[in-house]
Amino acid sequence: MKKLFVFLVFLLLPLFLFSCGGNGTFNKDSEAFKALMEEIGDNDIEVISVKWISIQAKHEKEKFEGIHYYIVYKKSTGDEEFYASIEISKATGVDEEIIVDTDYSDLEDLNDDYDIDVSMQELAVAFAKEENVEYSFKEGTLSASQISSALKKAKK
């Protein structure tokens, strides 16, 4: 069964970003949150959206949990504006992984990449069903006030 969970971890790794509470709030003490604030820094940014998805899976005595935050923001540097995203992976038994992508001049292109991650979720669900793994997904978005509050706390 360890092979199953190792496979599940690596299959789902792109989905799990950011250590947080179960209700979609930021954990400002996590390395992931600190990395996000470092990336954003004092730059002129506008957070556009924060999407999150979490998974809990269980097979016999083994458990797996992961969280995925997908944060899209607009960044201004001088006279240039561009869209960027940051992803920070955290899952049971896997070191935290930080992915920053700032190559998008078009928000639509950036959102197309997010759709690829969603299809990974569907693949993971199909795999879990086939292997009789109990699982649950939760997903949501953060409100503008939750984003604002998290950013203010981080800059203190």
Number of domains into which the chain is organized? 1
Q: Residue 1 pLDDT more than 50?
A: no
| Token pair belonging to 13 | 């790794």
Asked if pLDDT for residue 24 goes beyond 60, the answer is no
**How many other CB atoms sit within 10 Å of the CB of residue 129?**
10
pTM strictly above 0.85: no
- What's phi and psi for 56, nearest 5 deg? -125, 130
**Angle, helix 31-40 to helix 144-154, in steps of 10 degrees:** 90
Give the range of the structural domain holding residue 23, as residue numbers without chain letter.
2-154
Residue 79 · residue 53 · CB < 8 Å? no
Residue 56, pLDDT > 70, answer yes
Looking at residue 21, its amino acid is G
Return d(Cα 46, Cα 71) in angstroms, integer. 11
| Three-state secondary structure call for residue 39 | helix
Pairing of strands 94-104, 62-77: unpaired
Identify the pLDDT of residue 54. 72
Q: What is the DSSP letter of 18?
A: -
Q: How confident is the model at residue 49 (pLDDT cuts 50, 70, 90)?
A: confident
> Which pLDDT value is given to residue 50?
72
